[in-house]
Amino acid sequence: TAGITQAPTSQILAAGRSMTLRCTQDMRHNAMYWYRQDLGLGLRLIHYSNTAGTTGKGEVPDGYSVSRANTDDFPLTLASAVPSQTSVYFCASSEDRGGTDTQYFGPGTRLTVL
Amino acid sequence: GQNIDQPTEMTATEGAIVQINCTYQTSGFNGLFWYQQHAGEAPTFLSYNVLDGLEEKGRFSSFLSRSKGYSYLLLKELQMKDSASYLCAVRNSNYQLIWGAGTKLIIKP
């Protein structure tokens, strides 16, 4: 199985433009997450979804929105990009938010906002 | 606030043993995770501790002391492919993972 896929692999975006980062998992996991990873900082949770149809805010949600129309897909949208959103974005999924709840990560999207 | 502290970088020799420490202060505790992340790649799961003590998995072991807010990852018989960053993460009372910045481990021949 593919696990988790993300698209695009990398992107350069002009400030003020909008963009959607795509994430798809084929493991039928209930929970999905979006993180950003910046040099010298730990992974920071942007948004999460416990199950299809529900979403929640993480540690750094401002400037981002998500939707969870079905189990497999969890897109992340930047409505109006700013340079501080330059980062590596990882999508992850887990069976559930509890128990051993191992999170599996996609390969990441490297986004540069100019 | 909540924070996870790990050393920024460590260097070790091929074939040796290295211990990577992690201390944490979080709002509640529901388990501690260690992940490995090679440069330019995604984090991958290594270990999970929720009770005090040592969990051994091949060349890798992870230890937890909840009373001290402390964990370590022990890597034995180091190989060059173990050169990577090692991320410590704690799940808090809201079942949110709080991540450390990671420890970059450099293995020298």
Mean pLDDT value across residues A98-104: 78
Which residues fall within 8 angstroms of residue A92, CB to CB, at 6 or more apart?
A4, A32, A33, A34, A35, A103, A104, A105, A106
- Whether residue B42 and residue A90 make contact (CB cut-off 8 A), yes or no, is yes
Reduce the secondary structure of chain A to three states and give it as a string. Answer: CCCEEEECCEEEECCCCCEEEEEEECCCCCEEEEEEECCCCCCEEEEEECCCCCCEECCCCCCEEECCCCCCECCEEECCCCHHHCEEEEEEEECCCCCCCCCEECCCEEEEEC
> Quick one: pLDDT at residue A97?
66
Tokens of B22: 């992690």
Least confident of A92-101, B38-47, B63-72: A92-101
Instruction: Name which of A104, A100, A99, A96 is nearest A35 in CA terms.
Output: A104
- The pLDDT, as a whole number, for residue B65 is 98
What pLDDT sits at residue A5? 96
| Residues B46, B35 contacting (CB under 8 angstroms) | yes
Residue A87's pLDDT is 98
Residue A66 pLDDT class (50, 70, 90 cuts): very high
A104 Cβ under 8 Å from any chain B Cβ: yes
Instruction: Check the CA dihedral B103-A46-B42-A97 and report its sign.
Output: positive
Within an 8 Å CB–CB cutoff, is residue A65 touching chain B?
A: no
Tokens 């009770």, residue located? B51
Contact state of B91 with A101 under an 8 Å Cβ cutoff: yes
Instruction: Say if residue A40's pLDDT is above 90.
Output: no
Question: In angstroms, rounded to a whole number, what is the distance separating the alpha carbons of residues A17 and A88?
Answer: 18
Confidence band, pLDDT 50/70/90 cuts, at residue A96 = confident
**Is residue A16 pLDDT above 60, yes or no?**
yes
Residues of B in contact with A43 (CB under 8 A): 43, 87, 89, 97, 99
pLDDT grade for A98, boundaries at 50, 70 and 90: low
Stretch A26-51: mean pLDDT? 94
pLDDT for residue B2: 85
Contacts of A101 in chain B (CB under 8 A): 31, 91, 95
B41 vs A contacts (CB less than 8 Å): 107-108
Residue B1 has a pLDDT of 76
